[in-house]
Chain A
Amino acid sequence: MISAVTGRRREGPAPSGSSRRLRRIDHAVGLAFVAPVIIGVLGLGLVPFGYVIWYAFHDWNPLVGTFTWVGSANFSQLMGDSTVWASLGVTLAFALMLMVLNVTLAMVLALLLVQKLPGTTTFRAFFFSPVVVSTVAWVLIWNFLVASNGGINGVLSMLGIMGPNWLRDPDWALVTLVVIQVFKGVGMNMILFIAALQNVPADVKEAARIDGASPRRVLTSITLPLMTPTVLLVTMITLISAMDVFAPIQILTQGGPGRSTTVISYLLYRTAFVQQDFGYASAIGVLLFCVVLVMAALQWGTRKRWVHDEV
């Protein structure tokens, strides 16, 4: 994605007489080719987003049929709403825990499996397989395993440990969700890291080794610094997609116990489609968008401190 921004189109051949006509046709054809996606993203992305901002200034209950301008009332309600602030905290806790666990585990797996040893392909397939399984199927299976009388606690009780009711215990529910999601998605990040590890030039590592660097030193001083652009991209993608987690919450905990797993996107869903308060839900949507943007900007902003510059 980053190279997509800076990537330059190669220069075509110099225009000759007949290609001038072709160029004029090209203008029309080019616009026609991109029209579906441009119009689609405009109509189904940007315009709806504009509407959400507009709705956020209204009191709108589709059941009663009311749609009245209330100014910034929804936003001032938002500021004083402890549920919203709690869910903001839950969302950040969920996303940050998931990002740290996911990226760390992915890096460990990648370092183990980048070596060309017999069986590594099989293990890569093992770790990647949950990625192709649908989220709903994955969380349904885990729902059984983490139940109070499920497989995990069964194993723990054989060890003499009394496991908690993972998804019904306010101290454990969010962590359990994070772990289930990490197992689901870590294979993807592992593959991205393996690809990046393979791109670290062998001669640079070789040179360090000849200069007397230990394998650990090669890893920390050569390999990992050269990986940082990929790490930045992967952490950003992981964090942003964790900010709008929905299916696991809806299926496993419905935001509970209490509000310990009520993330913003789930709060938005409940406010709009259960409580039918579309105006307030729109204000929550604007907040969600701002939070995502701030998180992305923060990560992008700190990149100079830890991302190795390739050029």
Chain B
Amino acid sequence: MYALLIVMSVPFVYPLLWMVFSAFKPANEIFAIPPTLFPTTWTLEGVSRIFTAQPFAQQYLNSLYIAALVTIGSVVVGALAGYAFARIRFPFASWLFLFLMAGLFIPTEVTIIPIFRWVTSLGLMNTHVPLIILPVLGPGSIVAVFIFRQFFLSLPEELEEAGRLDGLGRLGLFMRIAFPLAGPAIAAVSIMKFLASFNLYFEPLIFLRSEHLFTVSLGLTGYQDHYGEPLYNTQIGATALTVIPVLIVFLLAQRQFVEGLSRTGLKG
């Protein structure tokens, strides 16, 4: 059984190992036959151009700060709505919840045309604003609401009773008692939304034009020398720089990742 598992894991693990080692190969070795995993000559030629061929450090920072803002925004928006749907009785609650369910079925590619038009007329083209607003408030936020709702439904109501006797209002109950206890849900939503934002490709492709505003996903596809020839080993090195931090965090916090992402069950 182990032999079978090892063979099956090759297409999952080998590409990532190949990526790490190929970053240190000279360009002509990347397509060597027979193929090699380890470089025969180690070189920093590719790696050294990662930050000079294009403003990759800036692009990396762009992706990080956009993903951070998206994560914070989604946790706040999702926790508020999830708490309300789980705990508070208010008019039209079940209708509004059904409305959110229906919202899941609208593909991003379909609504991008009017959103593109609004972004253009608001002068927000080639800015990061749409990349932050859309995932926090748009249909992408619905899954976060579901996760928080499920969590708050499972939280014993007695915990809030005590706070209520102490004279806390709704806002106080949420801020002082429910939200601080929502660690697992916050972790799940944070991992999901951070990865989704960091890995976003379609929206940046539509909304961004200048290299220094690009996100990592766009930057990775644009490695060329001055003559427009692709810089293979540099591209692979930059890809490795994008992937390795995420993989390390994943290996350190495997349980949170797996539980968090599978709780959503939806694509990032």
Q: Which of A21-45 contact B (CB under 8 A)?
A: 22-23, 25-31, 33-34, 36-41, 43-45
Chain A residue with Cβ nearest B138: A44
Judging by beta carbons under 8 Å apart, are B137 and A44 in contact? yes
| With known contacts A126-B9, A141-B15, A289-B110, A41–B34 Cβ distance under 8 A | no
- Given A126-B13, A154-B33, A296-B105, verify A9-B153 contact (CB < 8 Å): yes
> In chain A, residues 191-241, which have Cβ atoms closer than 8 Å to a Cβ of chain B?
191-192, 195, 233-234, 237, 240-241
Residues of A within 8 A of B187 (CB): none
At the interface with chain A, which of B42-50, B54-62, B144-152? B144-152
Interface residue tally on A, bucketed by range: 35 or more
Contacts A48-B115, A292-B105; A41 near B100 (Cβ below 8 A): yes
Contact residues on B (Cβ < 8 Å of other chain), bracket:
35 or more
Residues of A within 8 A of B19 (CB): 141
Q: Is the CB of B108 within 8 A of A183?
A: no
B159 at the interface (CB under 8 A from A): no
Are B18 and A45 touching (Cβ within 8 A)?
no
A298 at the interface (CB under 8 A from B): no
B122 interfacial by beta-carbon distance below 8 Å: no
Determine whether the beta carbon of A192 is less than 8 Å from that of B265: yes
| Segment 96-138 of B: residues with Cβ below 8 Å from A | 96, 99-101, 103, 105-117, 133-134, 136-138
A residues near B83, Cβ cutoff 8 Å: 33
> Within the complex, what minimum Cβ distance (angstroms) separates B11 from chain A?
5
In the bound complex, residues from chain B placing their C-beta under 8 Å from that of A234 are 265
Q: Using CB atoms, name the residue of chain A closest to B223.
A: A140
Which B residues between 181 and 232 are near A, CB-CB below 8 angstroms? Answer: 195, 198-199, 201-202, 205-206, 216-217, 220-221, 232
B180 contacts A by Cβ under 8 Å = no
Given contacts A33-B81, A133-B246, 13 further A-B contacts (CB under 8 A): A12-B157, A33-B88, A37-B137, A41-B141, A125-B251, A132-B247, A133-B247, A136-B217, A187-B12, A237-B267, A241-B266, A247-B217, A285-B109
**Which 7 residue pairs of A and B lie closest in terms of their CB atoms, listed nearest first?**
A30-B90, A40-B137, A154-B35, A134-B199, A33-B84, A44-B138, A30-B88
Q: Which residues of B contact A (CB under 8 A)?
A: 1-2, 4-5, 8-9, 11-13, 15-16, 18-19, 22, 30-35, 77-78, 80-81, 83-91, 93, 96, 99-101, 103, 105-117, 133-134, 136-139, 141-142, 145-146, 149-150, 153, 157, 161, 164, 169-171, 174, 195, 198-199, 201-202, 205-206, 216-217, 220-221, 232, 235-236, 239, 242-243, 246-247, 250-251, 254, 257-258, 261-262, 265-267
